[in-house]
């Protein structure tokens, strides 16, 4: 009986390796996402399609580089999903699997949304500036919808962390709060025209603390 129970709860991936991989991937994707969004926001002018089109055509290589950065972020999301699964599978393998697939699904949806950035970059120089702006807006909308899956993933991770006993419980609580922030924003944008509350901008602390804990404490698991 003891042997069977142990076999069911033994992680497939060493906890130390899973924690270090997840932490390193989270750090890398945080840097890449921050730089990529900074570049995108510097080129996109809200409410001015013509200026947005001119900016993108004038700095097309920079715009394409930001799209490449987002692609790398999506790939790193899959790595993070693998690492967090290995870290949390001993708590509840079934829920850890669901959480991992939710993040993989989010990464796939985010990657699909990035096709709109390629469409914006490939718009002919003499084309309608509105097409460029619409493509960038479609990317943003696609990402907003994808964040529903990310919020669900984060809530599951927070619950698993809370129950783990080897990751600080407050991080789990803060992760679930962060998840609710993403879900409120995503559904707010789906349900309310002109929604711009950005609740997730105030509830992300749990994500930062999890990354810091993985990088600092993960090596000692």
Using a 10 angstrom Cβ sphere, with 0-12 exposed, 13-18 middle and 19 or more buried, the burial of residue 216 is exposed
- Residue corresponding to tokens 């990751």: 167
Give domain status of residue 134, yes or no.
yes
- pLDDT tens by residue, the chain, 221 residues: 333 444 344 446 788 899 999 999 999 999 999 999 999 999 999 888 899 999 998 899 999 999 999 999 999 999 999 999 999 999 999 999 999 999 999 999 999 999 999 999 898 877 788 898 899 999 999 999 999 999 999 999 999 999 999 999 999 999 999 999 999 999 999 999 888 889 999 999 999 999 999 999 887 77
Give domain status of residue 57, yes or no.
yes
Give domain status of residue 5, yes or no.
no
- How many domains, in total, are found in the chain? 1
Give domain status of residue 193, yes or no.
yes
- R_g of the chain computed on alpha carbons: 19
Give domain status of residue 206, yes or no.
yes
b/e for 166-204, b at 16 or more Cβ within 10 A? ebbeebbebbbbbbbbbbbbbbebeeeeeeeeebbeebb
73 contacts 29 by C-beta, under 8 angstroms: yes
pTM: 0.88
Q: What is the extent of the structural domain holding 211?
A: 12-220
Give domain status of residue 54, yes or no.
yes
The phi and psi torsions of 198 (rounded to 5 degrees) equal: 55, 55
């Amino acid at each position: 009986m003891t042997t069977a129970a142990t076999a069911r709860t033994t992680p497939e991936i060493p906890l130390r390796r899973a924690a270090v991989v997840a932490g390193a991937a989270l750090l890398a994707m945080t840097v890449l996402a921050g730089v990529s969004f900074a570049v995108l926001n510097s080129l996109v002018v809200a409410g001015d399609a013509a200026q947005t089109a001119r900016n993108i055509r004038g700095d097309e290589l920079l715009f394409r580089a930001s799209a490449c950065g987002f692609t790398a972020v999506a790939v790193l999301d899959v790595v993070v999903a693998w690492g967090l699964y290995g870290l949390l599978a001993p708590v509840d393998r079934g829920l850890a699997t669901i959480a991992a697939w939710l993040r993989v699904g989010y990464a796939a949806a985010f990657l699909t949304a990035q096709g709109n950035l390629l469409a914006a970059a490939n718009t002919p120089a003499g084309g309608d500036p509105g097409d460029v702006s619409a493509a960038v807006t479609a990317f943003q909308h696609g990402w907003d919808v994808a964040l529903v899956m990310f919020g669900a993933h984060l809530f599951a991770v927070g619950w698993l962390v809370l129950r783990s006993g080897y990751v600080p419980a407050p991080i789990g609580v803060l992760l679930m709060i962060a998840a609710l922030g993403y879900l409120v924003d995503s559904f707010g944008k789906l349900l309310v025209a002109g929604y711009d509350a950005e609740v997730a901008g105030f509830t992300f602390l749990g994500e930062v603390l999890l990354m810091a804990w993985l990088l600092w404490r993960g090596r000692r698991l």
